[in-house]
């Protein structure tokens, strides 16, 4: 194989990665939950979510998907929300249940949303209430059986959560009216998941982790199939080039881009 770019690699950069280091993203995350338990994994609106908390809460979401919703391994589950603490919790919960993440831009129109849900075969969706009116328009024309609603401040402390959610919905009027009578709620999902027993699925490197959709600038949005092996390889490449610049347990990554975009998904959401 002709690889002329390798001559430009710095001396400390290996030419190959070890593809056998992790079997799946879940293996990688579970090691991080243990190694960095007390360290903050994500910070949003002054609320810190430690690795230990992320592990527990994502496991509850995984259990909820498996036992309350009875979804099978490999089921496609959509996330439609901006950068909130709920996002990584739900993201890891879906992956830990052995299911496939479908990231959706919250600013999509009803038509764009319908296309992506139907094209991906999504059976469930976690969505912020601010965008639920868009889903209401088309949900009956999709294969969605389960809608899980969350509000912006659902991961904050009790008083701050209630005040901020009230201001956003009632004072700022940032939540258009909607009717989704059969919807479940994020905090309910966490509570139900805590009552169940998580069953860790066997996940292989070639199992699908994400169907990551394009922006649709060249026609209808298309889903790129990303396996656990694909994502692990991307993370290992990033670590090879930038890992030597990072001081373990001291680093902080500012997430300016939406986590549902491919770049931030890899560099910010998945690089745990």
In whole angstroms, give the CA distance from residue 64 to residue 58.
10
SS3 76: strand
Residue at 102 is within a domain: yes
pLDDT of 4 reads: 92
Residue at 268 is within a domain: no
Looking at the DSSP assignment, which residues form a beta bridge with residue 43? 48
**H or E stretch covering 89:** helix 86-96
pLDDT band at 65, cuts 50/70/90?
very high
For the chain, give the longest Cα–Cα distance. Answer: 62
- Sequential DSSP letters for 158-187: HHHHHHHHHIIIIIS--S-----TT-EEHH
SS3 255: coil
Cβ(204)–Cβ(24) under 8 Å?
Answer: yes
pLDDT tens readout for residues 36-52:
999 999 999 999 999 99
Looking at the DSSP assignment, which residues form a beta bridge with residue 248? none
pLDDT of 94 reads: 98
Residue at 59 is within a domain: yes
pLDDT averaged over the chain? 94
Residue at 235 is within a domain: no
pLDDT band at 198, cuts 50/70/90?
very high
pLDDT of 41 reads: 95
Cβ(96)–Cβ(200) under 8 Å?
Answer: yes
pLDDT of 253 reads: 83
Residue at 15 is within a domain: no
Residue at 236 is within a domain: no
How many Cβ atoms from other residues are within 10 Å of residue 16's Cβ? 8
Instruction: Name the nearest CA neighbour of 240 among 1, 15, 6.
Output: 15
More confident residue, 150 or 214: 150
pLDDT band at 186, cuts 50/70/90?
very high
CATH number for the domain including 112?
A: 3.40.50.980
* Domain limits for position 109: 23-33+42-228
In whole angstroms, give the CA distance from residue 186 to residue 126.
8
pLDDT tens readout for residues 88-146:
999 999 999 999 999 999 999 999 999 999 999 999 999 999 999 999 999 999 999 99
Cβ(110)–Cβ(178) under 8 Å?
Answer: no
Cβ(124)–Cβ(93) under 8 Å?
Answer: no
Q: Is the pLDDT of residue 161 over 90?
A: yes
Residue at 184 is within a domain: yes
Q: Is the pLDDT of residue 216 over 70?
A: no
Handedness of CA 66, 149, 85, 124 (dihedral sign): positive
pLDDT tens readout for residues 8-39:
988 888 888 888 888 999 999 999 999 999 99
> Which pTM does this prediction carry?
0.95
Residue at 189 is within a domain: yes
Could you give the number of structural domains in the chain? 1
Q: Is the pLDDT of residue 214 over 80?
A: yes
Instruction: Name the nearest CA neighbour of 13 among 254, 244, 172, 262.
Output: 244
**Mean local confidence (pLDDT), 75-96:** 98
pLDDT tens readout for residues 232-252:
999 998 888 877 777 777 788
pLDDT of 268 reads: 85
In whole angstroms, give the CA distance from residue 51 to residue 76.
25
């Amino acid at each position: 194989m002709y690889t002329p770019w390798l001559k430009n690699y710095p001396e400390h950069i290996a030419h190959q990665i070890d593809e056998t280091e992790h079997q799946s993203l879940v293996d990688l995350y579970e090691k991080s939950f243990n190694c960095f338990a007390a360290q903050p994994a994500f910070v949003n609106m002054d609320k810190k979510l430690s690795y230990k908390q992320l592990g527990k809460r994502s496991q509850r979401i995984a259990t909820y998907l498996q036992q309350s919703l009875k979804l099978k391994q490999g089921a496609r589950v959509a996330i439609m929300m901006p950068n909130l603490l709920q996002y990584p919790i739900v993201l890891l919960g879906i992956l830990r249940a052995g299911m496939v993440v479908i990231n959706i831009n919250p600013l999509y129109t009803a038509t764009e949303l319908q296309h992506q849900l139907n094209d991906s075969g999504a059976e469930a969706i976690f969505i912020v209430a601010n965008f639920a009116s868009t889903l209401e328009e088309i949900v009956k024309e999709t294969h969605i059986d389960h809608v899980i609603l969350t509000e912006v401040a659902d991961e904050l402390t009790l008083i701050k959560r209630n005040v901020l959610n009230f201001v956003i919905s009632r004072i700022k009027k940032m939540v258009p009216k909607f009717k989704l009578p059969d919807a479940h709620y994020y905090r309910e999902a966490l509570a139900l998941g805590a009552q169940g027993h998580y069953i860790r699925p066997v996940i292989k490197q070639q199992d699908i982790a994400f169907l990551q959709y394009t922006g649709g600038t060249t026609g209808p949005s298309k889903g790129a199939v990303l396996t656990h092996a694909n994502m692990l390889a991307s993370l290992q490449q990033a670590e090879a080039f930038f890992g030597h610049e990072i001081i373990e347990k001291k680093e902080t990554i500012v997430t300016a881009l939406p986590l549902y975009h491919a770049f931030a998904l890899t560099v910010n959401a998945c690089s745990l």
